[in-house]
């Protein structure tokens, strides 16, 4: 039978029919069906198809050890968050995207230490608890945080201004699952726009900004690890994150305090901001 518009799909599906691994066969089958449906819907010209291939080629060329343009593409298409959401457990704190800036090891710090080594932003105290969904503390949970500074840059983006490890810290929760740290209020910032994904955003009149957030990965033996953010409630772009990563449970008030006794207790200057973040980890092997 000739390969034509009506026989094309079946011909390609049949070519994959003997794929031994059932999951791989299912994936190849679905990719083929959806891609053919897309082409039949859009009816691209050969020039348009070449330009689509050119776009993906440019995305690939932009990737290296520290830049992952395919992940960025998946982020701005909402696919990273879709995968994250479908794999999350409804009983625990919601997960969200990892992002590209968890590229260096966070320095080990003691509870109450500051992760800010520059001292130019608005002082901020973060307190939190790590518990299971019923509220039972998870003592010794490891809390790995990283954030940008008050100008929207991570340490790795501005090594001339920020020492390595600035804005990063690895903490261990106390016997009651509590943690606390000092920092500065992070800023909103744009995702990288100097590649094909940036051109895509521009062509579609989309802004590249992410609302202010602090990244966190929480791990503890016997629990599923959690990769998430603490979002600053009054940040610009809180309702229009370029990578769709905001979930309402992750948005916290960073309340301003002028309480001198509290400031002294935490070792910060006035005025400072304070946010509290309760984290619920789900036990390993628990299906939701």
129 has which bridge partners? Answer: 178, 278
Length of the chain in terms of residues written? 288
Binding partner selected for residue 100 from ligand BEZ, Fe ion, none, CB under the kind-specific 5 to 8 Å limit: ligand BEZ
Beta-strand (E) ranges in 80-175?
123-131, 142-146, 168-172
- Shortest distance in whole angstroms from residue 196 CB to ligand BEZ: 14
Which residue number places its CB atom closest to ligand BEZ?
A: 99
Applying CB under 6 A, which of residues 99, 128, 198, 211 lies at the interface with ligand BEZ? 99
Q: Tokens representing 282?
A: 């789900």
Q: Which of residues 21-80 bind ligand BEZ (CB under 6 A)?
A: 72, 75
**Region of 91-99, 157-165, 190-198, 261-269 interacting with Fe ion (CB under 5 A):** 91-99
Residue 243 binds to ligand BEZ (criterion: CB under 6 A): yes
Give me the sign of the Cα torsion angle 216, 220, 226, 227: positive
- Shortest distance in whole angstroms from residue 229 CB to Fe ion: 7
d(CA 86, CA 20): 27
What is the distance in angstroms between the CA of the first residue and the CA of the last residue of the chain?
48
* Nearer residue to Fe ion within complex by CB, 99 or 123: 99
**Is residue 127 left, alpha or beta, with left meaning phi > 0 and alpha meaning psi from -120 to 50?**
beta
Residue 184 binds to ligand BEZ (criterion: CB under 6 A): no
Each residue 209-228 as x (binds ligand BEZ by CB under 6 A) or -, in order, gives -x------------------
Q: Which of residues 152-191 bind Fe ion (CB under 5 A)?
A: none
Residue 99 binds to Fe ion (criterion: CB under 5 A): yes
* Nearer residue to Fe ion within complex by CB, 99 or 198: 99
* Nearer residue to ligand BEZ within complex by CB, 100 or 137: 100
Q: Report residue 160: phi and psi, to 5°.
A: -75, -25
Binding partner selected for residue 237 from ligand BEZ, Fe ion, none, CB under the kind-specific 5 to 8 Å limit: none
* Nearer residue to ligand BEZ within complex by CB, 147 or 224: 147
Binding footprint of ligand BEZ, residue count (CB under 6 A): 9
> What Å distances lie between residue 222 and 48, 138, 281, 283, CA to CA?
51, 10, 10, 6
Q: Tokens representing 256?
A: 């301003």
Contact 55, 244 (CB under 8 A): no
d(CA 172, CA 218): 10
* Nearer residue to Fe ion within complex by CB, 185 or 282: 185
Q: Tokens representing 74?
A: 């998946």
Residue 101 binds to ligand BEZ (criterion: CB under 6 A): yes
* Nearer residue to ligand BEZ within complex by CB, 209 or 272: 209
> What is the rounded radius of gyration, in angstroms, for the C-alpha atoms of the chain?
23
Residue 198 binds to ligand BEZ (criterion: CB under 6 A): no
Name which of 230, 228, 270, 222 is nearest 253 in CA terms.
230
* Nearer residue to ligand BEZ within complex by CB, 72 or 263: 72
In the complex, the residues that contact Fe ion under the rule CB under 5 A are: 99
In the complex, the residues that contact ligand BEZ under the rule CB under 6 A are: 72, 75, 97, 99-101, 191, 210, 243
């Amino acid at each position: 039978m000739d390969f034509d518009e009506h026989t094309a799909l079946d011909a390609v599906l049949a070519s994959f029919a003997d794929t031994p691994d059932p999951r791989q066969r299912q994936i190849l089958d679905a990719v083929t069906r959806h891609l053919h449906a897309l082409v039949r819907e859009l009816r691209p010209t050969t020039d348009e198809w070449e330009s689509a291939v050119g776009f993906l080629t440019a995305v690939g060329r932009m990737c290296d050890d520290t830049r992952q343009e395919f992940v960025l593409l998946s982020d701005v298409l909402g696919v990273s968050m879709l995968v994250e959401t479908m794999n999350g457990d409804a009983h625990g704190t919601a997960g969200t995207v990892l992002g590209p800036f968890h590229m260096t090891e966070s320095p080990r710090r003691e509870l109450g230490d500051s992760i800010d080594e520059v001292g130019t932003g608005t002082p901020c105290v973060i307190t939190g608890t790590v518990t299971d969904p019923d509220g039972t503390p998870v003592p010794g949970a490891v809390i790995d945080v990283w954030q940008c500074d008050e100008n929207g840059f991570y340490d790795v983006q501005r090594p001339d201004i920020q020492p390595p490890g600035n804005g990063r810290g690895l903490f261990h929760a106390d016997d009651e699952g509590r943690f606390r740290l000092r920092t500065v209020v992070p800023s909103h910032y744009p995702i990288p726009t100097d590649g094909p994904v940036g051109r895509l955003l521009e062509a579609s009149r989309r802004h590249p900004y992410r609302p202010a957030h602090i990244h966190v990965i929480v791990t503890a033996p016997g629990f599923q690890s959690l990769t998430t953010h603490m979002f600053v409630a009054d940040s610009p772009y809180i309702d229009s994150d370029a990578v769709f990563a905001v979930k309402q449970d992750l948005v916290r008030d960073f309340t301003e305090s002028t309480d001198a006794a509290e400031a002294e207790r935490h070792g910060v200057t006035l005025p400072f901001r304070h946010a509290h973040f309760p984290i619920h980890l789900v036990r390993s092997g628990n299906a939701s």
